Amino acid sequence: MSRELSPELREHIENTIRFLAIDAVEKAASGHPGAPMGLARPAFELWDQHLRFDPSDPKWPLRDRFVLSNGHASMLLYALLHLFGFALPLDEIVRFRQLGSKTPGHPEYGETPGVELTTGPLGQGFAHGVGMALAGRLARARFGVGGEGPGHHHVYGIVSDGDLMEGVSSEAGSLAGHLRLGNLIYLWDDNRISIDGPTSLCFGEDVAQRFEAQRWHVQAVDGEDPFGLRRALAAARDERDRPSLVITRTVIGRGSPNRAGKSKAHGEALGADEVRLTKQAAGWPLAPEFLIPDDVRAYLAERIREKHAARLEADIQLAAWRKRNPAQAQAWDAARERRLPTDLASSLCAGLDGKSDATRKHGAVVLERLAAVAPYYVGGSADLAGSAAPPVLKGRGSVGPGAAAGEDPFAGSNLHFGVREHAMGAITNGIALDATFRPYCGTFLIFSDYMRPSIRLAALMRVPSIFVFTHDSIFLGEDGPTHQPIEQLDALRAIPNLSVWRPADGIETAMAWAWIARHSGGPSLLALSRQTVPALKREAPFQPEDVLRGAYCVQDPGPTPRVVLVATGSEVALACDAAGKLRAEGTAVRVVSMPCVSRFLAEPVEYQLRLIPDDDTLIVAVEAGRGESLRRFVGRRGLVCGIDRFGASAPVAALAEAFGFTPDAIAARVRQQLAG
């Protein structure tokens, strides 16, 4: 550890952080100076003395993670990243919040070296960090047994009042305490101010008692007391079986004569006069802006060297671990490289051709097979494993108190999220961000609404979370309109970077999983049926690989059909039956199955037009949902057979009749359109 800082140098460094934030917000005329000013001392203490990282390699797998859940305080993070030598030049700080800069308004994963996850929607950083900590414990149980190897890092975070007000932090906090994630340490920025004024307006709970009740280890410190904070963080690390909350009392806008402690400090530039007064009060030069004094640079240069040296030391230990534990090291590498057998697709498809079943049940079979060859798959459901949404993997233990007696509670692969969809999505993303495991999670498709913020963040970050949703249409039946998705498929398909798969039978389900297993450029989603669907009878020259193109011909009368029926999921078999009726009357009908709209749209336009011509062929889309995302294919004269109202509680056959999803009803609508 480096020499002890003099109080003067410490203050100098903290003021550098404060004035970098102040100057950047002032120049951009946009941003949040208050939290960086109040947090400069605790954040610097954390980064300087506690956080393990190597600025020359922000992805070093053994690093501690740092989550700034109150992402609006992004200038705090950017200042720290710059000062600690990450590849974030001062120019980028000067260009804070400008188009194309590495310092966007809120921390964005993949845009800025050292930013561990995208934060901004309050509460999400808190919940994602729980996933990162869980991934760390899962890694330790598999690879880091005996105190060496991977999985021994900590996940640190700063969370704000807003984070703790958001419900997702309660869900995630509950699970973190229940799972005993002792590797998770959050500082709560207890500044008692939010945008509309003092938090006493709306936030009166006893936060310490809340977290104690959730089985956290809770301490309180004065944010201006670095040694108190140092002791608290050391005690938090010593606490192995409980996550830690360090209640850190701070003053928003600290150092500003007229803004400190006021909500005005939260999200407005201080203004030229107040910047001058603040600099004068701190004895800081008025010019130049974005000043980093020499003594600050010198101290940090030494710390950067020390942190890099500590990393090299850790690498030596890791190499020794590799030698001593070749099988574990090999499994760790296989997981991180997401190794898969070359015959994955055919092994996932085996025996499913010609087999009629619900696609959720096909999905369960396929996931078992996938996890058998790729043991780094971990996941679970929000209390719906019994509905295969997704299932509990056989022969793999449960994570947490459900683990078998004598087993490490993190050795299993089955996660039990409880009825906590919001946190489930975020925790799944956190596991994906850790980059050791490939996580999946699921529930009924309707409850994707509860997970939309996390799904959107996964898409924004392009992390490979897998969302498995079942009961994907009104054909779940008697549970009725509260459980029947209508607009969800369209809404999910509208999220950029998210691949939404709605397979029609066992082969499509297996091929969708095969594609997802090899896709690391963003999240994937499966929408699976509750009800049994018939195995499709596909015409030659069909190959299972055709499914990977997002759409393909199931039945084709030749190059010039009169009608093309485009259907997804459980409606493909229905379209085939309707086509049979029309063909019997002499109408040439092609049936196209479209399990993944975005995949199909990524195909060359020639392929798209070969399936769905852009001439006077009648195109009819069939989907037991709103169906708006298929309208682009049908043109002005085409037809979407979808649903434009909420569902109803009834047996499946009665719903099909009432909502027009019978072969006769579809054929009749096609006839009418042709006549029309």
For residues 231 to 260, the per-residue mask of contacts with ligand TPP, x marking binding by CB under 6 A and - elsewhere, is ---------------------x--------
Tokens 């360090």 correspond to 246
Shortest Å, Cβ 189 to ligand TPP: 6
The residue (of 121 and 129) whose beta carbon lies closer to ligand TPP is 121
Smallest gap from residue 207 Cβ to ligand TPP (A): 12
Q: How far is the C-alpha of 225 from the C-alpha of 248, rounded, in Å?
A: 10
313 assigned to active site? no
Secondary structure (DSSP) of 70-104: SGGGHHHHHHHHHHTT-S--HHHHHTTT-TT-SS-
Among 193, 476, 576, 643, binds ligand TPP (CB under 6 A): 193
50 vs 422 by CB, closer to ligand TPP: 422
Structure tokens at 74: 């992004």
Query: What does the per-residue mask of binding to ligand TPP show for 492-521, with x meaning CB under 6 A?
Result: ------------------------------
The DSSP secondary-structure symbol of 448 reads G
The region of 160-168, 291-299, 517-525, 582-590 touching ligand TPP under the rule CB under 6 A is 160-168
CA-closest candidate to residue 278, choices 249, 253, 261, 250? 253
- Answer positive or negative: Cα dihedral of 107, 109, 112, 113: positive
x/- binding map, residues 605-624, to ligand TPP, per CB under 6 A?
--------------------
- Residue 72 Cβ, how far from ligand TPP at the closest point, in Å? 5
**Considering beta carbons, is residue 169 or 448 the nearer one to ligand TPP?**
169
Q: How far is the CB of 33 from ligand TPP (least distance, A)?
A: 9
Selected binder of ligand TPP within 29, 195, 201, 301 (CB under 6 A): 195
- List binders of ligand TPP among 59-98 (CB under 6 A): 70, 72
CA distance 362 to 348: 10
Q: CB of 31: closest distance to ligand TPP in angstroms?
A: 11
Active-site entry in 421, 571, 623, 628:
421
Instruction: State the SS3 of 510-563.
Output: HHHHHHHHHCCCCCEEEECCCCEECCCCCCCCCCHHHHHHCCEEEECCCCCCCE
Cβ pair 573, 529 in contact under 8 A: no
- The contacts of residue 96 (CB under 8 Å, 6+ apart) are 24, 25, 27, 28, 31, 75, 78, 103
Per-residue interface string for the shown chain with ligand TPP, residues 261-290, x marking contact by CB under 6 A: -----x------------------------
Nearer CB in complex with ligand TPP: 69/509: 69
Query: Using CA atoms, how far apart are residues 629 and 498, in angstroms rounded to an integer?
Result: 14
Residue carrying structure tokens 């450029």: 521
Between 197 and 271, whose beta carbon lies closer to ligand TPP? Answer: 197
Can the peptide bond before residue 485 be classed as cis, meaning omega within 30 degrees of 0?
Answer: no
The answer to whether 241 and 204 are in contact (CB under 8 A) is no
- H helix and E strand count, the chain: 25, 20
> Which of 117-125, 273-281, 389-397, 430-438 is the region at the interface with ligand TPP (rule: CB under 6 A)?
117-125
Task: Give backbone dihedrals phi and psi of 202, rounded to 5 degrees, phi first.
Answer: -145, 0
Strand 244-249 and strand 184-190: the pairing is: parallel
Q: Which of 23, 45, 92, 161 binds ligand TPP (CB under 6 A)?
A: 161
C-beta closer to ligand TPP: residue 454 or 555: 454
Judged by beta carbon, residue 108 or residue 166, the one nearer ligand TPP is 166
Alpha carbons within 13 angstroms on the beta-carbon side of residue 457 total 29
Report how many residues bind ligand TPP under the rule CB under 6 A: 19
**Of the two residues 4 and 206, which places its CB atom closer to ligand TPP in the complex?**
206
Does residue 35 interact with ligand TPP by CB under 6 A?
A: yes
Q: CA torsion, points 166, 168, 170, 176, in degrees to nearest 10?
A: -140
Interface with ligand TPP, residue 162, by CB under 6 A = yes
Q: Which is nearer to ligand TPP, 28 or 528 (CB)?
A: 28
Residue 191 makes contact with ligand TPP by CB under 6 A: yes
**Smallest gap, in angstroms, from Cβ of residue 180 to ligand TPP?**
27
Q: Are 299 and 293 in contact (CB under 8 A)?
A: no
3-class SS of residue 460: helix
Using CB under 6 A, which of 120, 380, 412, 464 touches ligand TPP? 120
Contacts with ligand TPP, 197-236, as mask; x by CB under 6 A: ----------------------------------------
Instruction: Using DSSP bridges, classify how beta strands 377-381 and 552-555 pair: parallel, antiparallel or unpaired.
Output: unpaired
Give the CA radius of gyration of the chain. 28
Q: Which stretch binds ligand TPP (CB under 6 A): 133-141, 191-199, 458-466, 583-591?
A: 191-199
Binding residues for ligand TPP (CB under 6 A): 32, 34-35, 70, 72, 120-122, 160-162, 166, 189, 191, 193-195, 252, 266
Q: Which residues are catalytic?
A: 421
